[in-house]
Amino acid sequence: MANDYAPWDDDFRNLSRRMRARVRDVAGGRVETHTALPLQGCGHFGTEAALRSFLAPGQKILIPQTGQYAERMTRLAREAGRETVPLPVDRNHPASPELIAAALAADRTITHVGLVYSETSTGTIQNAPAIGEIVRAAGRRMILDAVSAFGALPLDVSAQPEIDAVIFTSNKCLEGLPGLCWIVARHDNLLPLGSAGSYSLDLADIHTLAQRDDGGSFRFTPPAQTLAALETAMDFHAAEGGTPARLARYQENARVLYRGMVRLGLQPCLDEADQGPIVVNIHAPPDPSWSLPNFVAALRQRGFVISNFYNTTAPSFRVGCIGHVTPNDMERFVAAVDAALIEIGISQRR
């Protein structure tokens, strides 16, 4: 990251080319059908770009309302002038593929399904392969938000030809730095140049430039240091054993955390069978002394930083299991939670 880069210089162009090929390969993409398109910014920008570049204005997308990120995808599509069909689902369990099949059968004008693979607001993992199979059988297309999934949860875009676009960022399960998102896209299915209705978010435009110089250039100023850091992060990812090994570590992190919370007398929001390995929400203790800011501050003094907000309906606190964190760190965290609860005066824990 301390290296300076000129975006037009061969050092940077070769880095860009290497990373695009590498990201496409990790997604299972084939060069004949898939391309990895980098876009400056955060994950929402990538989701909006994918929606705009694969759904023509007026086309209709079914979005199972698995949580906050599904709601945001719905809003991004709606405000881009695409028609949305929000499908209510039980947020405490992965959405049932049959429900999605029925919704598609009931409305033949739905062209796409938008799915959040790992719903970071609730901690559930959706059955993306099974839902994809239904989308494929129904002759529709899929946009997959894999922002908190990619690099840990299994994904092979070549085995799921119904997927037009998978969106993720460099800073979640890839454990890189923020500032860059990726869309692994079916280039054979991109809408024509200009259809996105946004020059900044037109993936066809990004793809056109990539074709011209073999993926060496970004259209506008690239987050060069973030891209360079991602190469190192992906070296660590490979050295760990790739996606399966990363998933195994996160699963163990989540298991130690989940069981530790239960041992302390706290109540996780999901049943253990529905609990994904990315983020765990735990019900706030019903004790009148409970204060999330005080709890967060008491943990912070012990060397742990967790969110100072929650996004479940009932009050809770949320803990991430991803990043450069091990089961041993999780054990230490459980002990810190116990001490923090005592410090802020909680006697009733569930």
Tell whether residue 124 is a contact of ligand PLP (CB under 6 A).
no
Distance CA 61, CA 49 (A): 15
Longest dimension (CA), the chain: 65
Does the protein bind ligand PLP through residue 76 (CB under 6 A)? no
Q: Please pick, from the candidates 43, 216, 268, 285, the single residue that binds ligand PLP as defined by CB under 6 A.
A: 43
CB of 217 or CB of 316, closer to ligand PLP: 316
How far apart are CB 179 and ligand PLP at their closest, in Å? 10
| Other Cβ atoms within 10 Å of 158 Cβ, number | 13
Does 179 contact ligand PLP by CB under 6 A?
Answer: no
Other Cβ atoms closer than 10 A to 118: 28
**Residue 65 CB, nearest distance to ligand PLP (Å)?**
13
Counting contacts by CB under 6 A, is residue 42 touching ligand PLP? yes
Binding mask 103-122 for ligand PLP (x = CB under 6 A): -------------x-x-x--
User: Of 320, 213, 229, 332, which is closest to residue 276 (Cα–Cα)?
Assistant: 320
Q: Return the number of the residue (321 or 336) whose C-beta is nearest ligand PLP.
A: 321
User: Least Å distance between CB 181 and ligand PLP?
Assistant: 7
Residue type at 338 in one-letter notation: D
Shortest reach from residue 83's CB to ligand PLP, in Å = 21
Which residue lies nearer to ligand PLP by CB, 47 or 217? 47
Over the window 137 to 156, marking each residue x when it contacts ligand PLP by CB under 6 A and - when it does not, the resulting string is: --------x-xx--------
Residue with tokens 């011209």: 212
Orientation of helix 224-240 relative to helix 10-26, angle to 10°: 40
Helix (H) / strand (E) element for 15: namely helix 10-26
Residues in the chain: 350
Residue 229 tokens read as: 């850091």
Residue with tokens 């049932």: 96
User: What are the residues binding ligand PLP (CB under 6 A)?
Assistant: 42-44, 69, 116, 118, 120, 145, 147-148, 169
